[in-house]
Structure 1
Amino acid sequence: MKTFLSAMALALSMAMPVSVFPAGRSVSGDIEAVGRLTRRVAPSLAGIIRYELIPAECDTFAVTADNGMVVIKGNNAISMAVGLNNYLRRDLGVSVSWFADDSVQVPDDIVLPAADYGARAAVGERFFLNYCTFGYTMPYWNWGDWERFIDWMALNGINLPLAMTGQERTWQLTWRRLGLDDASILSSFTGPAHLPWHWMNNVDHFQGPLAQPWIDSQESLQRSILERERELGMTPVMPAFAGHVPDGLRALYPDARISLRSQWSGFEDKDRCWFLDPSDPLYATIQNTFLSIQDSIYGTDHIYGIDPFNEVDSPDWSEEYLRSASSGIYSTLRAADPDARWLQMTWNFYYDRKHWTKPRIKAFLDGVPDENLLLLDYFCDRKEIWRMSDAYFGKPFIWCYLGNFGGNTMMVGDMADIDRKISAVVAEAGSNLAGIGGTLEGFSMNPVIDEYVFAKVWEPGLGYRQWADRWAGSRGAKVSDAIARAWRILADSVYVKCTRVGEACQTNSRPFVDKPTGGYTNSSYRYSQNALVEALRLMLSDERAWSNAALSRDAVNIGRQLLGNHFASVRDSFVSAYRRMDIPEARRYAADMENVISGIDTLMSTNPNTTLAKWVSSARAFGKTSRQSDSLEVNARTLLTVWGLPGRKLNDYANRQWAGLLSDFYLQRWKMFTDAVISAMEEGREYDEAAFVESVKVWEGEWPEKSMLSGRRHAAMPGQSAVSPESTVRLVRSIVAKYFPEILNKTPEIE
């Protein structure tokens, strides 16, 4: 492999096949863009790296050394950024996180590449994000958060990002032009955390109206986002009209074919959405108006996300209607922008398999010319739609790894499966494989997998064990081989015999004796706890590596998962004590349950990105009055807990092990449970689980507003520096060793 890469890098430095550079971009523009990225991420390296733009038929990079300088060559800014990331990871042992709060630790000594290396992208498009990510992770981001994240995308080769921020301003101006007043427009929007599901035609009004300062701030933010993404050569995907209209439009256009959407996820009828049929002449008017206004505010890159039937029924399931619907949408899109391409997620083909049969999928796709429709195969880690649809009947598609639901914090993912599937799709899918992508609903605790997906783009033959070694090198293994051994254990256990995506540690479950009452917090795993114990022991065994910030985050993550798994066994012991009517033992295990949750809470407080305090204070910062800030906070707390209406389908869907959420919500819920069970034991009666569930649903529904009013939001505010890596590692040792003392055993000296 080294010989091949060295030869390829040498070839790239010589004559290349005749080709052109990207239209509209200059040599100096790309080099200046990646140079600025370098100064943002690793300023100390700016003076030792020389970038060179080279022509190539596909995205390409090469890393070499020349006269004491690091030379990174590529055919555009993104390719050179991938070269920089490879140099950071492989030669310097440096990891760059997508979070602005996470430090980038560059060594003081200049390290030149040990050998020449490079790669060519196997696919042209690298897509990232999910509509849901704008709710589960990004709703309260400021420009500093976005700036780091865009740099992370460039470093990982992403050139097709979803860019949904700020669209409320475009909709506001569109609906004004159609005759609606601002009161009606603002009330149709949901609260900020729920806007992605408003965009997807799932819910209106909930925890609205949206305040004007929010709309104004997001417009400004989107301008900055798009400017930076375009500077780096990315092609942002912005929205177009997908048929969703405010209910107030019906009175203004009584003859328009507007129908009520099917009910979604337990929301009330008053929050249901309205859909304008694509065959109605008003559809073309709205499409043209929206795109014209959007172009005037943000410009256009001529690719638009349109998803008319996400988790809602089509008004008509006949093949003729589906074909005419897609054809109608496409015709309005091209009339408004003759260069338009339509990007469509295919989540619904998996989610609603009952209705989206192969003939119906084909009928819908047939309404759009092949070259103008780009499909996201959304959940390939579970089901590859391209394999059941004759590779989308010839339409271009992007193979996507989903990997996370709701921002859940489980260690989860099957690297061996990703290895096999990406290698296979590149080899077998044919010319209509347009790209590889990631569609995480929320940013996960598993960056090793999220970045592996994009590394495979450049090296389809990169095996998951080889990747684990490379990943370890950027997280402490340059200092201690014990770190590499820890990651090999994780790669062959947790990240192969994995938990199902969307499950949670039992700490986050609604309490139960007999069986779980929530659908999104089932706790199960197929790996041995001993694998986690041994991996953590190895990570903690060599103090020379403790100063590595990435290692400290890994130690927290593994410690969190260990304790989360352990909690389930403590709960089982509590239930056994109840069944034996052993009150002293029940009290002991109840205290143990509380201590485990408190321990995890303390671990997660070491990083602002895993605290409820940052989530809440970031939300409040967008308010211009205390009333607006209070409303934003309630909306932020609602999404993480009851999600929508209390006790409905999505309760706990966005659960996560965060400091503050553990102590103030999950722990309190478990204490209510253990108190109720022990009271029943003391009174000599059977615990009434049904009654408890009903009472806890009421408590859950009241929690977002009551906890906001309590003012418990001032610990670990944004901007507070995270705990030092060494202190974090010591904290992990002290907390986890109470339950797993073997993690303190030293590894024999590495010779």
Structure 2
Amino acid sequence: MKLLTFAVYMALFAVSSCIADFPQLSALRSKASSETQGQAVHGLLKRLIGERVSDFDIEIDSTLGPQDTFKLSSVENGRIKITATGGVAAAMGFYHYLKYFCYGQITWAGKQTMLPPVLPPLKTAVTISTLDKFRYYQNVCTLSYSSAFWSWERWEKEIDWMALHGFNLPLAFVGQEAIFQRMYLSMGFTQKELDEHFGGPAFLAWARMGNIRGWGGPLPQMWITQKLMLQHKILGRMRELGMVPVLPAFAGHVPAAIKRVFPKANVTRLGNWGHFNSTFSGTYLLDFEDPLFQTFGKTFIQMQTQEFGSDHIYNADTFNEMRPASSDPDYIAKAGKSVFKAMTAGDPQAVWLMQGWMFLSPFWQAPQVKALVTSVPKGSMIILDLAAEIEPVYQKFESFYGQPFIWCMLHNFGGTMEFYGVIDNINKGPSVARNFPKSTMIGVGVTPEGIHQNEVIYEFMAENSWRKEPRDVYTWLSNFTQQRYGQLNDDVNNAWQLLLGSVYNATDAHRDHDLVMITKRPDPKYDVTSDVWYNPEDVFRAWDGFVNASHALQGSSLFHYDIADVSRNNLQLVALIYFSEMVKAYKAKDIPTIEKNSASIVELLSDLNDLLCSNERFLLGLWIADAHFWATSTSEKTLLEYNARNQITLWGPNGEIHDYASKQWCGVVKDFYKPRWEFFSNWLIQLIKNGTSWDSYIFREEIMRTVESPWTFSTYPQRTEPSGNPIVKSTELHAKYRPVTKNEFFRKIWKDIQIGKKSKKGLGLYVAKISRMFSL
């Protein structure tokens, strides 16, 4: 025991020493007073538990520990006292008590916060400290894939979620177009030129990174102004809770009209991105050594600070999924120095936070990475090792050559919804990184492209901020299920155990956005085995468990969401059988079998749509309604709805990134995916009848013209209220489709996986796919 205690002490000492090596980062802290942070946490608790907030005493004491720390103790009259170093730590303390003493939970799908009449007392005080200074949250793409249309009401809930889960370093990118507009107009650009530069409301993430320009626009003026106002609220709440928001900086991407306004400007036109043509891609990058770069960078920071204030940490991603003009390390180093110099010209205390996603590209070898990350003083840059749970880059580049980094879990691409996770990697990865030779790790992060999915993974990952060593996953999971539903249930607990041991523990580098056949544009060449890396029977048996538990847990709103989600995931697996039979029949020119299995897929999609309609978390109508919220005219309403529909389907005017952000939502399944599958089966039949061969190009053009594009331009109303009971619907579908799962098809897939006949999707294939997609 003494040795273990000493080891833990040394580990904490090492972490503390690591951050102490970077005085710039040690100085990054909340400016909110203890009183302000305490009041903010009180408000958070009142939103969650109403008048029961009076059962908790909150005290902010910054001297409690060197890292964020909370202490829980029982006081008179049955109350619980939360003493914490700051607002986020206090929120973490409340959530820890809620989870581990009251068996509650708060997630995107809802909350289980039924406190007992008398709070469970603590025999001894509980004190927990975080292991690192920072817990980062969000991906630059989350702002488009998930929160593009959020109002303040939704943002308030998300900021509460951030605090409860311990995130103190959130990305705060809303409203930046107003600052860029103000700067560019003051320099002589016209509004028309900015309309051609800014992306549309659902595509701002990629316009901000210089991947595209103008697509989805023009950006309405009222949107720009209202988002500016929203950002004030977001930053105000983040800061009140003691967070350190990350604001944007100038990365070098400029409007195409730069040469009109500044004829002597030295600019480079970047290559096209993501299959977009030059109309919306091929953005312009201001040369790093052009004096204008410093003027633009300094002015933007100053104007932004005047509007929002500053916490001195800024994100800029100049080369994200874009190939630099030169691989010469000198060029790369000059680029880094220029970006940082422009930041510090506007804010001498600036720290540059950069996504390390681009380092997965083959372009970025050791000389290029080292040149960029060492181009600024150590500690003045933080690298987000963005997908460390799959491919930790810090190991390849010597802990980023001395620059501090944050170990991040990316997990999700595009906001897709299928079950997926790498639980073992998430459990062990942060500890490995902290103990890496000469580690410069200063935090953990959660960086999904889209949220509202796979909540078990995010609950597990968030605890890595204070877990000193890997957990026993199944013990943790038993607590999770009781917290989620408010009671113990063997059927549902066993179901979750099956899921976590299979679909949530990918071991062959699968990525979630490659996994769902029914939401991909149909293609007879599609490899159905690529959807599966686990034993499908585990997922089917988990479905059994949820159905068996449905009577006991019918009072839980989170169970209603989960049983619909489990049923949804099972139905997409069943569809693989029908599709496989269709393809075999097409190759054999067997029209009746094509028709039979096509009818089965269409019926399954109808059933799936009805299931999704039964829970508000799966409604397309709410996504569109949120988009409409920002409209001030009929034309704006039409533009916003087109953005909302296009992003989750075609992702571009001609399907440039089609199906990447696919959603299994009520309304999308019925009106987009179902007609698409009907078109596909009819197409195969006509090919047989006409004696012609499959041509992907012709099929793509026709299905886009006939089915896909018309749907993105449609404006007919969508359901915004659920219909039916997800437990009843899931039970019916289980009875209907569970017999279908007892099929040799899945047994053969699992057998092939076990004996190694199925090829593994390794990192090399993944990087190659990304490279092809973004032309790196």
Fold equivalence (TM over 0.5): yes
Q: CA deviation at 1:404?
A: 0.6
Q: Counterparts of 1:22 and 1:433 in 2: how far apart (Å)?
A: 18
The answer as to 2:424 corresponding to 1:426 is no
Could you say if the C-alpha distance between residues 736 and 91 of structure 1 is closer, same or farther in structure 2, counting changes exceeding 3 Å?
A: same
Given residue 228 of structure 2, which amino acid in structure 1 is its aligned partner?
A: E
Counterpart of 2:255 in structure 1 is 246
Classify the secondary structure of the residue corresponding to 1:314: coil
Given residue 573 of structure 1, which amino acid in structure 2 is its aligned partner?
A: E
Classify the secondary structure of the residue corresponding to 2:349: coil
Counterpart of 1:207 in structure 2 is 216
Q: Counterparts of 2:143 and 2:215 in 1: how far apart (Å)?
A: 17
The answer as to 2:472 corresponding to 1:463 is yes
Counterpart of 1:281 in structure 2 is 291
Could you say if the C-alpha distance between residues 113 and 414 of structure 1 is closer, same or farther in structure 2, counting changes exceeding 3 Å?
A: farther
Q: After the TM superposition, which parts of structure 1 deviate over 6 Å for at least 4 consecutive aligned residues?
A: 19-23
**Contact 1:404/1:440 (8 A) holds in 2:** yes
**Contact 2:267/2:285 (8 A) holds in 1:** yes
More off after superposition, 35-44 vs 598-607: 598-607
Counterpart of 1:563 in structure 2 is 571
The answer as to 2:547 corresponding to 1:537 is no
Counterpart of 1:734 in structure 2 is 732
Identity of aligned residues (%): 29
Counterpart mapping for 1:407-422 below 5 A: 407-422=415-430
**Contact 2:298/2:344 (8 A) holds in 1:** no
Counterpart of 1:181 in structure 2 is 190
Q: Counterparts of 1:133 and 1:20 in 2: how far apart (Å)?
A: 28
Q: CA deviation at 1:376?
A: 0.5
Q: CA deviation at 1:235?
A: 0.7
Could you say if the C-alpha distance between residues 692 and 405 of structure 1 is closer, same or farther in structure 2, counting changes exceeding 3 Å?
A: same
Residue of structure 2 aligned with 1:52, choices 59, 84, 98: 59
Counterpart of 1:300 in structure 2 is 310
Q: Counterparts of 2:560 and 2:514 in 1: how far apart (Å)?
A: 24
The answer as to 2:338 corresponding to 1:334 is no
Classify the secondary structure of the residue corresponding to 1:398: strand
Counterpart of 1:370 in structure 2 is 378
Classify the secondary structure of the residue corresponding to 2:202: helix
Q: Counterparts of 1:551 and 1:62 in 2: how far apart (Å)?
A: 32
Counterpart mapping for 1:41-440 below 5 A: 41-54=48-61, 55-67=64-76, 68-98=78-108, 102-107=110-115, 109-113=117-121, 116=124, 117-271=126-280, 272-350=282-360, 352-353=361-362, 355-428=363-436, 430=438, 432-440=440-448
Q: Deviations over 1:298-334 (max 9, x none)?
A: 1111100011111112122211111111112212211
Given residue 736 of structure 1, which amino acid in structure 2 is its aligned partner?
A: H
Q: CA deviation at 1:426?
A: 2.2
Q: CA deviation at 1:742?
A: 11
**Contact 2:38/2:59 (8 A) holds in 1:** yes
Q: Counterparts of 1:684 and 1:704 in 2: how far apart (Å)?
A: 28
Classify the secondary structure of the residue corresponding to 1:324: helix
Q: CA deviation at 1:679?
A: 4.3
Classify the secondary structure of the residue corresponding to 2:59: strand
Q: CA deviation at 1:225?
A: 0.5
Q: Deviations over 1:461-505 (max 9, x none)?
A: 233333322221212262423322222222211111465332232
Counterpart of 1:714 in structure 2 is 718
Could you say if the C-alpha distance between residues 571 and 742 of structure 1 is closer, same or farther in structure 2, counting changes exceeding 3 Å?
A: closer
Q: Deviations over 1:343-394 (max 9, x none)?
A: 11111111x22x2110111111121001211111111122111101110011
The answer as to 2:701 corresponding to 1:694 is yes
Q: Counterparts of 1:164 and 1:311 in 2: how far apart (Å)?
A: 19
Counterpart of 1:748 in structure 2 is none
Q: Deviations over 1:14-71 (max 9, x none)?
A: xxxxx99967443322221111100012214302112233421111123333331122
**Contact 1:90/1:473 (8 A) holds in 2:** no
Residue of structure 1 aligned with 2:518, choices 495, 502, 507: 507
Q: Counterparts of 1:340 and 1:240 in 2: how far apart (Å)?
A: 10
Q: Counterparts of 1:149 and 1:689 in 2: how far apart (Å)?
A: 46
Given residue 212 of structure 1, which amino acid in structure 2 is its aligned partner?
A: Q
Q: Deviations over 1:661-699 (max 9, x none)?
A: 111111110001122234455x47456454433311333
**Contact 1:193/1:639 (8 A) holds in 2:** yes
Q: Counterparts of 1:526 and 1:532 in 2: how far apart (Å)?
A: 12
Residue of structure 1 aligned with 2:603, choices 595, 599, 604: 595
Residue of structure 2 aligned with 1:626, choices 634, 637, 646: 634
Q: Counterparts of 2:380 and 2:27 in 1: how far apart (Å)?
A: 23
Given residue 339 of structure 2, which amino acid in structure 1 is its aligned partner?
A: I
Q: Counterparts of 1:170 and 1:463 in 2: how far apart (Å)?
A: 48
Given residue 342 of structure 2, which amino acid in structure 1 is its aligned partner?
A: T
Given residue 312 of structure 2, which amino acid in structure 1 is its aligned partner?
A: H
**Contact 1:412/1:501 (8 A) holds in 2:** yes
The answer as to 2:42 corresponding to 1:31 is no
Residue of structure 2 aligned with 1:451, choices 448, 459, 468: 459
**Contact 1:408/1:503 (8 A) holds in 2:** no
Q: CA deviation at 1:730?
A: 2.1
Give ranges in structure 2 of 5+ residues lacking alignment.
Answer: 9-25, 742-776
Counterpart of 2:555 in structure 1 is 547
Q: Deviations over 1:505-535 (max 9, x none)?
A: 211121122336xxxx985122222211222
**Contact 2:564/2:611 (8 A) holds in 1:** yes
Q: Deviations over 1:169-227 (max 9, x none)?
A: 00000001111122222232111111100000111111211110110111111111000
Q: Deviations over 1:105-124 (max 9, x none)?
A: 42453341565534211111
**Contact 2:57/2:81 (8 A) holds in 1:** yes
Q: CA deviation at 1:277?
A: 1.5
Counterpart of 1:746 in structure 2 is none
Q: Counterparts of 1:21 and 1:672 in 2: how far apart (Å)?
A: 56
Counterpart of 2:624 in structure 1 is 616
More off after superposition, 118-127 vs 491-500: 491-500
Q: Counterparts of 2:730 and 2:714 in 1: how far apart (Å)?
A: 29
Q: Counterparts of 1:684 and 1:700 in 2: how far apart (Å)?
A: 22
Counterpart of 1:16 in structure 2 is none
Q: Deviations over 1:561-613 (max 9, x none)?
A: 11001101111123334445544443332221012112222222233332221
**Contact 2:628/2:641 (8 A) holds in 1:** yes
Q: Counterparts of 1:214 and 1:569 in 2: how far apart (Å)?
A: 46
**Contact 1:105/1:548 (8 A) holds in 2:** no
Classify the secondary structure of the residue corresponding to 1:63: strand
More off after superposition, 472-481 vs 438-447: 472-481
Counterpart of 2:773 in structure 1 is none
